[in-house]
Amino acid sequence: MRLLTVVGARPQFIKAAVVSRAVHKRKNIEEIILHTGQHYDNNMSAVFFEEMNIPEPAYNLDIKEHSHGAMTAKMLDGIEKILLKEKPDLVLVYGDTNSTLAAALAASKLQIPVAHVEAGLRSHNMQMPEEINRILTDRVSNLLFCPTRQSVKNLKKEGFEKDFYRIYETGDVMLDAVKYYFKKSKAGILSKLNIRQNNFILSTFHRAENTDDINNLEKIISALNQLNKEKEVIVPLHPRTAKFIHQHKINTDFRIIKPLGYFDMLQLLSNCSIVITDSGGLQKEACFFKKFCVTLREQTEWTELIKNGYSILAGSNSKKILKYSQGLLSKPFPEMKELYGDGNAGEKIAVIIEKLSDNL
């Protein structure tokens, strides 16, 4: 069986590492990796392949720095050409990026089955490009690998229980990744940054609603500047966010560092006090390390984090960010529930693909 895996953004490299490791145990599956180039900075892309022992991509389309429409169109064209050349039996996509949607559309139009890891997630905010991408990707995917019980319910509610779709609750591959790679990571980043355990706040923000809107960006930075007076705030800054801060000459009092590799981020997550982020993946990873998360969004696809009190939505409201963060700094983390499976999602996905390969 020929499996074409399409990745393009930092979280997808992590997810692909988990599934690829399980797939490569099976002699009857040949995997080809295609990198769209959506994340191109070395610390956002290449270092992940090196750290996590992901096989070097057979193809890199090097598509970057375009509008949503232009980027998706260029990816569609490039991916289609590779699909026609490689003739895979199945295309595997992850998450909700433009790379995800482009690969799913290109494959479905060529009548090649599509498997979607992280299917069924919904924030119910159609102003988010990611929400549009994940809904459309689900619609053209044949195999829907759901990370949570809620994501399965979402699909069934939307009428996905038809012969075309095969829905599986596998658990979350990000939990697999944290369990496997944290053991391999080392705490050198703490001494390198001269920080102590549980004595800093870890924050990231990069989503369009927070960076493209100057008012939202200023409010988030204002809150972080205030928090930094009480406890050091460390921000591994996304290149896109750095560009906007520089353009608008916004003052930052907190500590900015370059984007980090996955291993270093795991160490910071493990040793921070709380997390403040608009990242989807980091919300969950904070939970895996029993750290509260203040989420810089009005909605989240990871609704179970909110329901169980592990995360709280603050949007870009400075007062809320300050109030929630200060409150959570002194609050004990509640008992953990098994929301994301048992840390064996990658193996489950590989087994399903292997069993179904003859019937695709």
Task: Dump pLDDT digits (tens) for 285-298.
Answer: 999 999 999 999 99
Q: Which whole number is the average pLDDT over 251-269?
A: 95
Give the pLDDT confidence score for residue 43 in this predicted structure: 53
Side chain identity at 327, as an amino acid letter?
A: G
Query: Whole-prediction pTM value?
Result: 0.92
Please report where in the chains the tokens 């290149």 appear, as a residue: 239
Question: Strands 255-257 and 200-204, how do they pair?
Answer: unpaired
Give the pLDDT confidence score for residue 68 in this predicted structure: 84
The residue among 169, 171, 178, 185 whose CA lies nearest residue 290 is: 178
On the question of pLDDT at 44 being above 70, the answer is no
Cα separation values, 246 from 206, 217, 239, 240, 242, Å: 14, 12, 11, 10, 6
Q: Which whole number is the average pLDDT over 353-359?
A: 81
Catalytic positions? 206
Phi/psi at 255 (5° precision): -90, 120
Q: Rounded distance, CA 298 to CA 278, Å?
A: 10
Give the pLDDT confidence score for residue 10 in this predicted structure: 84
Q: What angle do CA 283, 286, 288 make, to 5 degrees?
A: 110
On the question of pLDDT at 267 being above 90, the answer is yes
Q: Which whole number is the average pLDDT over 202-214?
A: 92
On the question of pLDDT at 124 being above 90, the answer is yes
Q: What percent of the chain stands above pLDDT 90? A: 84
Q: Which of 50-54, 106-110, 162-166, 338-342 has the lowest mean pLDDT?
A: 50-54
The residue among 87, 168, 202 whose CA lies nearest residue 345 is: 168
All domains in the chain, ordered by first residue? 2-172+341-359 (3.40.50.2000), 184-329 (3.40.50.2000)
Q: Which of 65-69, 104-108, 223-227 has the lowest mean pLDDT?
A: 65-69
Kindly indicate the confidence band of residue 208, based on its pLDDT and cuts at 50, 70 and 90.
Answer: confident
- Give 31's strand partners: 3
pLDDT in tens, 155-187: 999 999 777 899 999 999 999 999 999 999 998
Q: What angle do CA 45, 182, 204 make, to 5 degrees?
A: 50
Kindly indicate the confidence band of residue 47, based on its pLDDT and cuts at 50, 70 and 90.
Answer: low
The residue among 25, 99, 96, 30 whose CA lies nearest residue 62 is: 99
Q: Rounded distance, CA 42 to CA 46, Å?
A: 5
Q: Rounded distance, CA 303 to CA 272, Å?
A: 23
Please report where in the chains the tokens 């019937």 appear, as a residue: 359
Kindly indicate the confidence band of residue 76, based on its pLDDT and cuts at 50, 70 and 90.
Answer: very high
Give the pLDDT confidence score for residue 45 in this predicted structure: 55
Question: How many Cα atoms are found within 13 Å in the side-chain-facing hemisphere of 104?
Answer: 26
Measure the CA dihedral 243/248/254/257, to 10°.
10
Give the pLDDT confidence score for residue 253 in this predicted structure: 97
Q: Which whole number is the average pLDDT over 273-278?
A: 98
Q: Which whole number is the average pLDDT over 37-47?
A: 62
Task: Give the number of other Cβ atoms within 10 Å of residue 26's Cβ.
Answer: 16
Q: What percent of the chain stands above pLDDT 70? A: 96
